[in-house]
Amino acid sequence: MTESFSSRPIFMGVVTVLVSFVLLSLLSGSLGRPLYPLPSKLNKDKRPLQTFRPYNIAHRGSNGELPEETRAIEEGADFIETDILASKDGFLICFHDVTLDDTTDVADHKEFRDRKRTYEVQGANVTGLFVGRFPIITFEEFIAIALDANRVVGIYPEIKNPVFINQHVKWPNGKMFEDIFVETLLRYGYKGSYMSKDWLKQPVFIQSFAPLSLVYVSNLTDSPKILLIDDITIPTQDTNQSYWEITSNIYLEYIKEIVVGIGPWKDTIVPVRDNYLTTPTELVAKAHAHDLQVHPYTYRNENKFLHLDFHQDPYAEYDYWLNTIGVDGLFTDFTGSLHKYQEWTSPKDDRSASALLHRISSLLSAYGRQ
């Protein structure tokens, strides 16, 4: 997900997508590298998804350290998150930002300096470490990474810039980006409503900033969906609705038929002044009153992102959001830190009924194989 900070001009979003198209056209034909092997392991006997505490959602992998997904799984992510875009020839790929500079400290690493490039995009020079210099993985490879994990790891793909993609990419038979997106999920067995047996086997949340995409997708799959909510100054990209409209009680009452939760930028839940938190808004209480989960974004360890109330302590920030605000999931760039915090403060209870049932069924199936 790419949030728009209020300081960042809106047109950057458009530039981002245009750049990705430029790069992807350059790249197409260069996917001759071996693909990540498609899933081989069965889901049997895997440690289940934890569902007793808020979800640890790895924002684009363990992004604070390295922009990749496998590390996040080792560090304890419940869900791995990614943006999904389409290449000009219709393949769904995982795509992050135009450059890695915006979201990582990669610019501080001398060893990457020679990878800096400048491309002229829409009359402006954009310099940085282009994602194209790192391998882009396909949506299917991303799914394979999750399915191959040695425990159940959910996926949290974003239908990214659907209006733009549907304008610029054409699929056979008039299919839309959303159709291809859902077909891919179904092909790999992602189905079922939130907490259903199918969902627990292969958990997924479908996220988008575009309400119409989610409405459309709700006709195709009952997998749970999350409506992302941008800064208060930014209207929705397809329905041009204001922040106030889509966070009103009337709207939440409507959208809860489509989505299981919302994903707001955290600074809109607790507004910030002079880098200090101010009084929290009622958004979380309102959402919970409509049985909607709240998964805010994005939690980051770096000093420059931690508001001064937290005294440069990311654990203090997690404590505040989990125990004072009471959110249901957190998009984090530092999955390892959130995991440690949750293990210290809310460790797994092995005596819980579901853990016990899982152990018994593992034992039985191990016995059956002999």
Ligand X SMILES: *[C@@H]1O[C@H](CO)[C@@H](O)[C@H](O)[C@H]1NC(C)=O
Contacts with ligand X, residue ranges (CB under 6 A): 120, 123-125, 215-216, 219, 235, 240
Compute the distance between CA of residue 18 and CA of residue 298 in angstroms, rounded to an integer. 24
Of 206, 259, 221, whose CA–CA distance to 81 is shortest? 206
Residue with tokens 């990614």: 82
Least gap, CB of 118 to ligand X (angstroms): 6
Upstream peptide bond of 298 is cis (omega within 30 degrees of 0): yes
In terms of CB distance, is 223 or 337 closer to ligand X? 223
In terms of CB distance, is 38 or 124 closer to ligand X? 124
Strand partners, 154: 79
In terms of CB distance, is 243 or 331 closer to ligand X? 243
Least gap, CB of 220 to ligand X (angstroms): 8
Structure tokens at 180: 């291809």
Least gap, CB of 176 to ligand X (angstroms): 10
In terms of CB distance, is 124 or 195 closer to ligand X? 124
C-beta of residue 186 within 8 angstroms of C-beta of residue 261: no
Residue with tokens 């949506």: 139
Contact partners, residue 148, CB within 8 Å, separation at least 6: 37, 39, 40, 41
Least gap, CB of 206 to ligand X (angstroms): 15
Compute the distance between CA of residue 334 and CA of residue 301 in angstroms, rounded to an integer. 7
Least gap, CB of 227 to ligand X (angstroms): 15
Least gap, CB of 277 to ligand X (angstroms): 29
Least gap, CB of 123 to ligand X (angstroms): 5
Least gap, CB of 212 to ligand X (angstroms): 8
Contact partners, residue 112, CB within 8 Å, separation at least 6: 106, 129
259: three-class secondary structure by DSSP: coil
C-beta of residue 162 within 8 angstroms of C-beta of residue 209: no
C-beta of residue 251 within 8 angstroms of C-beta of residue 257: no
In terms of CB distance, is 218 or 362 closer to ligand X? 218
Contact partners, residue 230, CB within 8 Å, separation at least 6: 3, 4, 209, 236, 243, 265
In terms of CB distance, is 240 or 370 closer to ligand X? 240
**Distance between alpha carbon 35 and the CA centroid of its chain, in Å?**
22
In terms of CB distance, is 101 or 333 closer to ligand X? 101
In terms of CB distance, is 196 or 219 closer to ligand X? 219
Tell me the angle at which helices 211-218 and 177-187 cross, rounded to the nearest 10 degrees.
Answer: 50
